[in-house]
Structure 1
Amino acid sequence: MLSYSTRPRGGVVHTLALAEALAEAGQDVTVWTLGRGGDSGFFRAVDPRVRQRIVRFPDVDGEGVGPRILRSIETLRAAFDPAGFDVVHAQDCISANAVSRCVRTVHHLDHFTTPELVACHERAITRPFAHVCVSAAVAGELAEGWGLTATVIPNGVDAARFAAAAGPAAAPDRRRWRDRLGRYVLAVGGIEPRKGTVDLLEAYALMHGTSRRLVIAGGETLFDYRDYRTRFDKRAAELGVHPIVLGPVDHDELPSLVAAADVFAFPSTKEGFGLAAMEALAAGVPLVTRDLPVLREVFDGVARFAADPAGFAGQLRAAAEDPESLREAGQNLAAGYSWQTAAAAHLELYRSLVPGRPAVAGPVAPPPPGS
C-alpha cells in the first residue's frame, strides 16, 4: 500500500487502519510513504505486523506546489520496488503516479488549476487498472466523468476509541479540554478551501449570542493554503469573531477533544466519506454537515444538513440545544463500520484481480528490528 505522507490526513489514517486490518487477517502488508521534512515515522504507532518503508523527502526552501508534486512522485518512484508484491494499492494521486500498475482508491475528486496537479490527478485516475471508492456518490462521479467502474468499499471507523472518549473513565480528559476552551463547536481538518472553513466562520458569526467558541483542529497538508488562511483571518477580523485554531492535535488527544465538543461542524465542499464526522458520531457528538450527495448517502438520518452559512448557523444552534435527538442513531451508525469489514471486502477484490494466488497466507510475524 502506498501513501504520500506520514502525517494525519484522512487518506493516511485510512491507509494505516486498512493495512493493520489486512495484517490482522493474515496478509503480508508493507506501507510505503514519503517522510516529509525529516519524518522517520507515522503520526501514531503502527501495528508491528505492518512493514513500513518511509522514503526520505527533505523540504526545499521556496519550492512551489507544482515542483514539490513532481519531486514527490519522482522520489517515491525511484525508491519503490514492486518485486514480491501480488497487489500494489495506491491511496492518492501522488502514489498512483509513482507506480506503473496499481489499484487506486479514489477518496474524492478534486479540481485543480496548478498544471502539474491537473496532470497528476488525471493520470492517477486513468492509469490504474482497478479502482476503489469509499462511497457510491464518488463512484458515480468516476463513472460519469471517465466511464470507469469502481468497487465501492466504505471506510471503517475506530468507533470504540471515540466512544470510550465519551465514557465515564475519560471524563478528566474531556474536562481538561473544557477548562481550556470552554464550550465549543468543533471542526477538524484545518483551514482550507475544501473544508469550507470560511463558510463556517460566516455561520459562526450568525450564531448571535452564543457562548460557545469556534475551535478548529488539524491542518496537515501538502498544499499551500496561505492565501486562503489570509482570507480567513481578514474575514474573522471583519466579523469580530475570534476562533481558536489548534493546528494538528496529537493522535491520543483527538478523541477527547471531539467528545468534549457541543457540536461537530463539517462544512466540507468535497468529501469521499467523512471519516472525521463519523468519529464524532461515535463519540455521541451532534453533527451538522454540508448538504452534499455523498454526505446524504453516508449520514442521512443521523446528522443535520445545511447548504449555506445561514443554514449552518441555524442547524448548529438547533444541534446544541437538542444534543440527544440523533445521538443513539449516530452512535449505532458509526459502530456498524469496521476496518475488519473493509479489509475483507478488499481481500475479495484482490482475489478477483490476482487469480490463482492465495489471498491469506497465515499470520505474519513482526519484522525484525531495523528491517
Structure 2
Amino acid sequence: MKIALLSYSTRPRGGVVHTLALAEALAALGEDVTVWTLGRGGDAGFFRPVDPAVRLRIVPFPDGPDGEGVGARVLRSIATLRAAFDPAPYDIVHAQDCISANAVGRCVRTVHHLDHFTTPELAACHERAIVEPYAHICVSRPVAEELREGWGLTARVIPNGVAYDRFAATDPRARERWRARLGRYVLTVGGIEPRKGSLDLLEAYALLNGEVKLVIAGGETLFDYRDYRARWEARAAELGVEPVVLGAVPDEELPALVAAAGVFAFPSLKEGFGLAAMEALAAGVPLVVRELPVLREVFGAAARFADTPRTLAAELGHALAADDPARRAAGRDLAARHTWDTAARRHLDLYRSLR
C-alpha cells in the first residue's frame, strides 16, 4: 500500500515520535510510506535521522507576523498543509493530530488524547478532527471509551511501541556524564505546560527531602504557554527551589539522560498512553505517574501512582530511597512487549480492512 502519515511538526513531541517510529516500522514490513509535516521556523528535517526507506515531505511553514495568536497560527498551519498535500497517490491517508486531519480531509485519525480548548479556532479544529475522519485509532482503551461516550465513535485500540533497545542499553560513560553534570535527579520529559502537571510536580519537589535536583527536558510545542511558565517560575521562587530546565535535548543524548535518572516523574493531567514514561521503564528507571485511568491501565504494577503534590512527593521519595527489583523487572518486561513491529502490523490489519 501507499501510505501517507501526517503530523504537524518536525520537533520532538510524543505524536511526532510516534509518527516517525510507525512509519519506519511500516516501511520495514515492505510498505510504501511517506511522512508529511510542516517545517516550522525554517526546519528542513526532523529532530532525528529517519530511515531512508521512509519518504519525507516537509512543507515550509515560516514564522508568522508579530503578535500572531494561537488561533491564527492553527488556521495558517491547516491552510499551508492543505495547499501542499495531494491525497490522490495514497491508498491510506492517516493523520496523527487535529491540524493534519483538518488539512487533508478524508482520513484515518489517531486520537492520542482528548483535550478541551478555549481558543475558538483550536476548539473547532479539535472537533472536526474527531467527527470527520472515517476511521479512528486510539493508543489506549480509556481514550477509546472517551471517544465512544462523547461522540458515539468506535475506535481501534493500538498501543504505542517503544524503542526498547535504545533505552535499555545506554552507554555507561554517557550516563556518568549526566550524573556528573546534574548529580542525583528526578527527571520529567515534556516541558512546562498545564497538561503535564508541571505546577504539581514543582510543589512535590519542594516537599522532597535530600540532595536531589528536579530536571525538566523537552517542551517543544505549538501552543503559547508563556503565562503558565511565568506562574511556574514565580511559584518556584516562592518555594525557594531551582529546577534545572534543559529544554530540548539532542535525540542521541536523551536515552542516557533518562537512564541516569534516580526516578522518572510523569504527573500529567491528560494522556493517551505515556510514551516517555514507557521509555523510562525500558531504561530500568523507577516511575511515578498520576493516578489516571489511562495510566493505571498502561502501567499497572510497573509504576507508583499519586494524585496530589503531597502523595507525588511521597512516592518520589520512596522510589529514590529504596531499590525495587521486582517493580523494575516488571517495567522492563512491560516496555519490551510494546514493539513498533507489533503496532505496525496491527495498523496494517486495520488499513486492509478499510480498502
Question: What TM-score does the superposition give when structure 1 sets the normalisation length?
Answer: 0.94
Match of 1:40 in 2: 44
SS at 2:6 equivalent: coil
Deviations 1:332-371 (A, max 9, x none): 10000000000000000000001xxxxxxxxxxxxxxxxx
Following TM superposition, by how much is the alpha carbon of 1:210 offset from its aligned partner in structure 2, in angstroms? 1.7
Match of 1:320 in 2: 320
Match of 1:9 in 2: 13
Unaligned 5+ segments in structure 2 are none
Match of 1:243 in 2: 243
CA distance in 2, matches of 1:332, 1:352: 31
Write the mapping of 1:1-371 to structure 2, written as runs, cut at 5 A. 1-60=5-64, 61-165=66-170, 170-207=171-208, 209-325=209-325, 326-354=327-355
SS at 1:271 equivalent: coil
Give the superposed CA RMSD: 0.6
SS at 2:352 equivalent: helix
Following TM superposition, by how much is the alpha carbon of 1:171 offset from its aligned partner in structure 2, in angstroms? 1.1
Match of 1:367 in 2: none
Following TM superposition, by how much is the alpha carbon of 1:45 offset from its aligned partner in structure 2, in angstroms? 0.3
Following TM superposition, by how much is the alpha carbon of 1:323 offset from its aligned partner in structure 2, in angstroms? 2.8
Unaligned 5+ segments in structure 1 are 355-371
Following TM superposition, by how much is the alpha carbon of 1:107 offset from its aligned partner in structure 2, in angstroms? 0.2
Structure with the larger RCO, 1 or 2 (CA within 8 Å, 6+ apart):
1
Aligned amino acid, residue 282 of structure 2: A
CA distance in 2, matches of 1:171, 1:153: 34
CA distance in 1, matches of 2:185, 2:228: 23
Following TM superposition, by how much is the alpha carbon of 1:269 offset from its aligned partner in structure 2, in angstroms? 0.3
Match of 1:364 in 2: none
Match of 1:369 in 2: none
Aligned amino acid, residue 39 of structure 2: G
Match of 1:362 in 2: none
CA distance in 1, matches of 2:273, 2:39: 26
Contact 1:32 1:55 in 2 (8 A): yes
Following TM superposition, by how much is the alpha carbon of 1:321 offset from its aligned partner in structure 2, in angstroms? 1.2
Deviations 1:308-342 (A, max 9, x none): 00000000000111233411110010000000000
Contact 1:189 1:195 in 2 (8 A): yes
SS at 1:216 equivalent: strand
Following TM superposition, by how much is the alpha carbon of 1:137 offset from its aligned partner in structure 2, in angstroms? 0.5
CA distance in 2, matches of 1:40, 1:315: 42
CA distance in 2, matches of 1:29, 1:251: 23
SS at 2:110 equivalent: strand
Overall identity of the aligned pairs, in % = 74
Deviations 1:105-164 (A, max 9, x none): 000000100000100000000000000000001000000000000000000000110001
SS at 2:305 equivalent: strand
Aligned amino acid, residue 36 of structure 1: R
Deviations 1:277-307 (A, max 9, x none): 0000000000000000000000010000000
Following TM superposition, by how much is the alpha carbon of 1:83 offset from its aligned partner in structure 2, in angstroms? 1.4
CA distance in 2, matches of 1:12, 1:43: 9
* Worse-superposed segment, 212-221 or 60-69: 60-69
